[in-house]
Structure 1
Amino acid sequence: MVSSQLGSGVRPTRVRYAMLGLIACGTLINYLDRTILGVAAPMLTRELGINAALMGVIFSAFSWSYAAAQVPGGAFLDRFGTRLTYVLSVGFWSLFTLCQAFVSGITGLIGLRLALGVAESPCFPANSRVVATWFPRDERAFATGVYTVGEYIGLAFLSPLLFAAIAHFGWRSLFVGAGAVGLGFALIWWKHYRDPRESRANQAELDAIVAGGALLDQPLRQRFDWNAAGRLLQTRQMWGICLGQFAGNSTLVFFLTWFPTYLANERHMDWLKIGFFAVAPFIAASVGVLFGGWWSDRMLARGHSPNVARKLPIILGLLLASSIVAANFVQSDTLVIAILSLAFFAQGMAALGWTLVSDLAPEGMLGVTGGVFNLAANLAGIVTPLVVGAIVAATGSFFYALAFIGGVALLGAFSYIFILGDVRRIVLD
C-alpha cells in the first residue's frame, strides 16, 4: 500500500482515486449502453416482429465489431494516450446509443449495434492502462474490482427504474436517456482526466506509486509493432488468460442479454416482478467483484505469490459459476434467483482478469495486450447470444442454454489451472 507519508514529510495526495472514480463511472455507462437492449428485448421483439434466433443475431452484432476493433483500438490507445482515446470513445458510443431510439427495422438496429461495438472497443484497454499507470501493484486488483463493478451496478440498482420506464414510456425511452447521460460524461472526462505527470498529484504520490510498481514512466505513445504483436500471441500466458476470460464472459453475456427474456418467457414473470428479481443477481455480482479484488490484494500483501493471489479467486469463481445449471431443476422463482445470484457472484469474482493484463503486459504494449485480451473475452459476446438463441429457438426452452453456460465456466477454470502458468511480466525477445 502507498505510505501515508514519505521521507520528505509531505503527505501524498490521493488523486489516483479520483481517476479511478472516473473510469468506474465510464464503465457503468459503457455497460448500461450496451446492455439496455437486453432490458428492451421482450417488448422490442414484439413490436418489430423478431424471433429468438434473430434476436440472438442482434445481441451478437455488437460483439462482432467490438471484438474486431480491439487490437486497432488498443493500438490507437498506445499511440494517442488515454485522455483523447476515452473521450472519443464515450462520445461516439453515446451518440450511437441515442440513435437506437429511432430505429424502425432490423437493418438499422444491427447497423447501430455494429457502430456501438467499434466505439466502445478502447474502453477496457484504457481502464487497464489507467490502473497500471496510477496504482501500485498491491492495489491493482481492488482498483480493477472498483471499476469492473460498473459492469453490474448500473443494472443492479437501475433495473426497477428501467422496467418502470418501459412500462410507462416504451422501450425507446431507455436509449434516449442512456445516450444523453453518456454525452454529458464525455465532457466531464475531458475536463478532469489527466495522466499522472500532468495531474494535480504531488511528487510524494508520484514517488510512492512508482515505488509500488506503477508503470508511470514507461513510454505511453507507441507505434504499433506487428512483429511484437505476433510474438505476444504465441505466449502461453496470453492463451491462458484469453481462454479463461472468454469463459467468464460467457456467464456475464448471458445475464446482460438473455436474462430478462429468460425471466419473462421461461419463468413467466410480469414487468414489475422482473424488475424486482433482476436486481439480486447484479447486486451479488457487484459484491463478488469487490470481494475478489480485496481478497486478491490481501493475499498478495500477506506474502502469497502472484500465482496464488491473482489466480485463486478467478479459478474458484469460475468453478462456482458453473452452478448456474442447477436453476434447471427447481420450480420456485425465489430459489431460481438465489441460484442465479450465486452464479453471478462467482462470475464477479472471476472478473479480475484485467489485473493479470496489468501484471503480464510487455513494456510499452499495455494497449495492444489489453486489446488482444478483450478480443478473446468478447468472442463470448458473439458466441453466447447466438448459441443461446439457437437453443431456445430449437427447443423452446433455456434448459440446454444454462447447461452450455455452466460447461464453458468449467473450461475457463481448466485454462487458468493448466494453461496460464506463472504470473509474471512477458518479455518478448
Structure 2
Amino acid sequence: MKETQKLSNYRYRILGLLMFATTINYFDRSLIGVLAPTLEKLFGWTNSDYANIMISFKVAYALGLLFMGGLIDCLGTKKGYTLSIVIWSVFGMLHAFVRPGFSVIGFAAARFGLGFGESGNFPAAIKTTAEWFPKKDRAFATGLFNAATSIGAIAAPFVVGWIVHEDGKNWQFPFLITGILSAFWVFLWFKMYKKPEVHPYVSKEELAYIQSDSEIENEEKLPWISVVGKKETWAFALAKTTDAVWWFYLFWGAKFLADTFDVNIHNIALPFFVIYIMADIGSILGGYLSGVFIKKGWSINKSRKITLLICSLIILPVAMVAVTDNKWLAIFLIGLGAAGHQAWSANIFTLASDVFPKKATASVVGIGGMVGAVAGIIVDKALGTVLDTAGNTGYFWAFLLAGSSYLIVLGLVHLLMPNMTPLDENLNKKSN
C-alpha cells in the first residue's frame, strides 16, 4: 500500500527530468555570455562581432523552433526531446575547438548548431507538462522547470570562475561539460518516460487527476500548418516577443556589468547568483499564483491575465538600471526584472496548453519561440551597432524597452485573445 502511494506522484519524477534538461540547456546557453568580456579581449571582437555571434544562435533557434515544434508533435516527446538534446550537446562541445584565426565564424557556426538543437527544449517540455499535469497545476509545474533556466545560468559563472583564468586560459573546458550531463539525462529519459496512460508506475488515481480538467484526445496527427491560421497562435507568439528581454539579460548582462561597473570573470558569480536566484523565486511564485486564483474559482482567462498584469508592474523599475551609478542597486533591479519575466514566462507558456489540444502544443510553442527569437535578433543587431557608435548610452534604451514592453504586449494579447476559449482536438472552439 505504501509503494502505491509513493508511485502516485510519478509526474513529479518526469518534472524533475524536465528541470534537469533545462538546467543543461541554460548552462550551455549562458557560457558565452559569462565568457563574453574575456573572449572579446582574447579574440579582439567588437560589439558588432559579438552581436553577430548571438544573432547566429537566434537565427538557428528561430528556424529550429518552426521545425522542432512540429517534429516533436510528430515523433512524440520521448524521441523528439532526445534528438534535441543530442544536437545541442554536440554543438555545445564544438565551441571548445574554435581557433583564433576564425573565431567569429567558428563561434557563429557552433552557436548556430547549438541554437537549432536547443530550440526543441521548451516545445518538448511544455508538451510533456500538458501530458502529465492538469491545467490547474500546469503554470506551477512550468514555473518549476522554468526555474531551472536560472540554475543553469547561476552554474555557468561559478564553473567559469573556477576553471578559466582571467587571461582566458582554459576557456574551452566549460563547453565540454555538457556531454557528460546530457548522456546521463538521455539514459534516465529513456528509462523513465512513457505517456501517463500507459506508464506502469502511474496509478489509476494519478491518471484520473492528470486528466481531471482536460479531454482525452484522439491519436490523429494535426499538420503543423493547421495552427498557423489561428489568432490564438499569434497571441501566444506576441507574448513571446518578451524573450528578447530575457536574452538581453542572459547574453549582454555580464558585458553591461563589465562595461559599467568593471565586473570581471572572477567577481561576476555573485551578481549572477543574486539576479538568477531572484529569477527562480519569480518563476515559482508566478506559476503558483495563477494556480491559487484558479483554485479560488476564477476562470483560467482571468487568473492568467491578472497574474501577467502583476508581473508587468513588477518589471517596470528595470527601466531605471542604466541611470543608476550604484552597482548593487543595478543588480537588484535587473534581478527584479528577471524575476518578473520568469513569472510572466511560466504563465505565458501555459497559454498554449490552456487553449490548444496537447497534440498541437509543441507546434504552437515552436511558432511563438520563433517570433521571440526574431525579436531577440533585432535587439542584438540594434544594440551592438549603438554600443559601437554611441558607447554605453545604448544600454539606456535597452533597459527602457525591457521595463516598458510587458504592459504593452499584455494589452495587445488581450485584444487578440480576450476570452482564451479552448480549442478542441480539431482546432475548433468548444461550445460553452
The aligned counterpart of 1:340 is 334
Alpha-carbon offset, residue 407 of structure 1: 3.7
1:116-155 equivalence runs, <5 A: 116-155=114-153
**1:331 aligned onto 2:325:** yes
Distance (whole Å) between structure 1 residues aligned to residue 308 and residue 174 of structure 2: 33
Q: Is the 8 A contact 2:22 2:152 kept in 1?
A: no
Unaligned runs of 5+ in 1: none
Structure 2, unaligned stretches of length 5 or more? none
Q: Is the 8 A contact 1:253 1:384 kept in 2?
A: no
Structure 2 residue aligned with 1:18, among 13, 17, 42? 13
Query: What amino acid maps onto 1:162 in structure 2?
Result: V
Give secondary structure in 1 for the equivalent of 2:164.
Answer: helix
1:103 to 95, 98, 105: 98
Displacement of 1:10 in angstroms is 7.9
Cα distance in 2 for partners of 1:72, 1:178 equals 23
1:393-421 residue CA offsets vs partner (Å, 9 max, x unmatched): 12110222222323433432332343331
- Matched residue type, 1:28: T
- Residue number among 157, 161, 164 corresponding to 1:163 in the alignment: 161
The answer as to whether partners of 1:391 and 1:401 remain within 8 angstroms in 2 is no
**Structure 2 counterpart of 1:44, from 15, 36, 39:** 39
- Matched residue, 1:210: 211
Q: Which residue is 1:224 aligned to?
A: 223
For residues 64-79 of structure 1, what are the structure 2 equivalents within 5 Å? 64-79=59-74
Question: 1:163–1:275: 8 Å Cα contact kept in structure 2?
Answer: yes
Q: What's the % identity of the aligned pairs? A: 25
Name the SS of the counterpart of 1:371 in structure 2: helix
Q: Mean Cα displacement is larger for which, 309-318 or 85-94?
A: 309-318
Shift, 1:132, TM fit: 0.8
C-alpha distance 349-395 of structure 1, shift in aligned 2 (>3 A): same
Match of 1:384 in 2: 379
SS at match of 1:149: helix
Code of the aligned partner of 2:170: G
C-alpha distance in structure 2 between counterparts of 1:372 and 1:173, whole Å = 34
What displacement does 1:223 show? 5.5
State how many pairs are aligned. 416
> Which residue of the partner structure matches residue 405 of structure 2?
408
Q: Which moved more, 1:153-162 or 1:126-135?
A: 153-162
| 1:171 shift after superposition | 2.0
Equivalent residue letter for 1:193: Y
Deviation of residue 21 (structure 1)? 0.6
Distance 2:223 2:311 in 1: 35
Change (3 A) 1:11 1:50: closer
* Aligned AA (1:43): T
The answer to whether the Cα contact below 8 Å between 1:10 and 1:204 also exists between their aligned partners in 2 is no
Is 1:125–1:366's contact at 8 Å kept on the other side of the alignment?
yes
Write the letter of the residue equivalent to 2:89: S
**Matched residues in 1 for 2:237 and 2:183: separation?**
32
Q: Aligned-pair distance for 1:340?
A: 1.3
Q: 1:373 to 1:212 in 2, by over 3 A?
A: same
TM-score (norm 2): 0.90
**Cα shift readout 1:204-247 (whole Å, capped 9, x = no counterpart):** 2112221232x6x4245725253x23422xx1x32222112212
CA contact (8 A) 1:307 1:423 kept: yes
SS of residue matched to 1:273: coil
2:422 is the alignment partner of 1:425: yes
| C-alpha deviation, 1:363, in angstroms | 5.8
* Partner SS, residue 359 of structure 2: coil
Cα–Cα, structure 1 residues 258 and 203, in superposed 2: closer, same or farther, change >3 Å?
same
What are the Cα deviations for residues 228-271 of structure 1, in whole angstroms up to 9, with x where unaligned?
23422xx1x32222112212x12210111000111111211233
Describe the superposition over 1:30-86 as per-residue Cα deviations: whole angstroms up to 9, x where unpaired.
Answer: 111122111111111122221001101111211101111212212211211110111
Q: Which amino acid aligns with 2:18?
A: I
Structure 2 residue identity aligned to 1:406: G
Q: Which moved more, 1:201-210 or 1:136-145?
A: 201-210
Question: How far is the alpha carbon of 1:15 from its aligned partner?
Answer: 0.7
TM-score, length of structure 1 as denominator length: 0.91
Do the aligned partners of residues 112 and 11 (structure 1) sit closer, same or farther apart at CA in structure 2, a change above 3 Å counting?
A: closer
- Rounded to whole Å, the distance in 2 between the matches of 1:11 and 1:52 is 53
Aligned to 1:268: 262
Aligned amino acid, residue 177 of structure 1:
I
Give the Cα separation in 2 of the matches to 1:157 and 1:11.
31
Contact 1:12/1:204 (<8 A) preserved: no
Deviation track 1:100-131 (CA, whole Å, cap 9, x = no partner) reads 11111221211111111221222211111111
Tell whether the 8 Å contact from 2:31 to 2:157 is kept in structure 1 after alignment: no
Deviation for aligned residue 1:386 = 2.0
Distance 1:252 1:102, change over 3 A: same
The residue aligned with 1:369 is 364
